[in-house]
Amino acid sequence: MMWRAAGVCALSMASCISVAAQERSPDGVWMRDDGNARVRIAPCGSKLCATNLWIRDTSKGEEVGDRLIMSLERKSATELVGKAYDPKREKTYRITVIVNPNSLTTRGCILGGLLCRDVNWTPAGGG
């Protein structure tokens, strides 16, 4: 009986460790920390696209349907790095995406990494 309990504990711990080590995906619908944008991140061909689903204030040129096309490589279970292309502005950025259990952080950089901006996102559900 004691060996059976030890076996169950060992199996449970192994599955917990396995789940914790799994790669996290940025796929989903996210709300930007300033409350101005809701985006869907999803595969588009061999890349990932972040597409605006909703924009509160369009005065800065952001519109529903705008996309950011990302070419990312996984650096760890929670971090992806690469390039992001904004076809509307015809600009390419260096990007880092960090996927946490209940949030996402994106860091976009220009000028060889001299000018960077972090944006925090929370799950928005549906879409």
Q: What is the pLDDT of residues 1-32, one digit of tens each?
A: 433 333 333 334 343 344 445 788 999 999 99
Neighbours of 99 (CB within 10 A): 20
DSSP H helices, the chain, are 2-21
| Ordered structural domains, the chain, with CATH | 24-123 (2.40.128.30)
How large is the C-alpha radius of gyration of the chain?
Answer: 18
Query: pLDDT tens digits, residue range 72-90?
Result: 999 999 999 999 999 999 9
The encoded tokens of residue 14 equal 């192994």
The encoded tokens of residue 8 equal 């169950």
Nearest in space to 102 (alpha carbons), one of 26, 42, 15: 26
Tracing tokens 């709300």 back to the chain, one arrives at 31
Report the predicted TM-score, pTM, of the whole model to 2 decimal places.
Answer: 0.78
Query: pLDDT tens digits, residue range 28-66?
Result: 999 999 999 999 999 999 999 999 999 999 999 999 999
Tell me 113's DSSP state: G
pLDDT in the model for residue 22: 77
